Structure formats: C-alpha cells, structure tokens
Amino acid sequence: MSLTISVRRGTEADLPGVHALIVELAVYEKAPNEVSNTIEDMRRDGFGEKPIFEFFVAESPEEGIVGIALYYTAYSTWKGKMLFLEDIVVTERHRRKGIGRLLFNQVVKAAKEEDYKRMKWQVLDWNEPAINFYRSIGANLDGEWINCNLTAEQLRRF
C-alpha cells in the first residue's frame, strides 16, 4: 500500500495526534517518563492569547497525522530573529519514507517566507539517521557549543 502524504500547518484540532507523537518520540529517545507537557498546555501555549510555537503536520487520508515539525521564534543577539526547530517526529512505521524531509522542507520554507536570519535545531549524538540527513543537506553540525538547561524543579530552587 502506498501512503499519500500531505503537509499542512497544524491546528488546535490536531493537538491530540501531535501529543501522541511527542510521547512516541520520548519512548524513541529512551525517556518515556519525561513528557509532562499536556494537550491543555499545548492548547494554551500554541493557540492562547500569546502563542509561542507553531507546527506542521504530515498526514494521510488513511491514517491521519503521521508526522509533525514543531518550531518557535528565538532571538540571536548577533543575527536577530531566528527559527528554532524543536522537533521533527514521524511515527515509527513510517520512518525512512521521506516524511521527515517533507516536514523539514516546509519549516525551511516558513523560515524563508518569514525572513528569519537563521534556523537552528539539535540532534542527539546517537541518532545516526537524523545526523546523516542533516549532513546530506549541508547543515553545520556544531560540536563547539554545550547545551545547558534548568529543570522546573531547579528553577524553583534557584
């Protein structure tokens, strides 16, 4: 069976399917208990008074949402407005079929249309398929920067 895929901007009605893919990603990244984000959180943060993220979905008429690309605007003191691609997720049974590339292309198109000065994202060092894809498109894989973060608990204690 050939899967027909279309990519479109995500809507509030897509959030249950988007959240399910986020949970699937956490399992893939060996962190199944780390997702604390809820559909309600996503509704508020993506469609509330001050939306802070946008997304695209890849869907098929037969199966519904099979992939997502979620991104937001960040700001570089050196470059200005920057698009940060948080995640591309394709459901496991449809990986390696070009769906991730379709989603990535749509995010790049949005970055160009909205005049972003840079696009950034991260990839886990063990995710060879993603690393190989990013190399194939000529992306810079920067080993110089160290990722830093504070958890919600660390923020409370600070």
Query: Cβ(70)–Cβ(59) under 8 Å?
Result: no
Estimate the crossing angle of helix 39-47 against helix 15-28, to 10 degrees: 120
3-state SS class at 154: helix
> How many other CB atoms sit within 10 Å of the CB of residue 73?
14
Enumerate the H helices of 2-151 as residue ranges.
15-28, 39-47, 99-113, 128-136
Dihedral over alpha carbons 78, 112, 91, 52 (to 10 degrees): 60
Estimate the crossing angle of helix 128-136 against helix 99-113, to 10 degrees: 50
Pairing of strands 54-60, 118-121: unpaired
**Which residues are part of the catalytic machinery?**
134
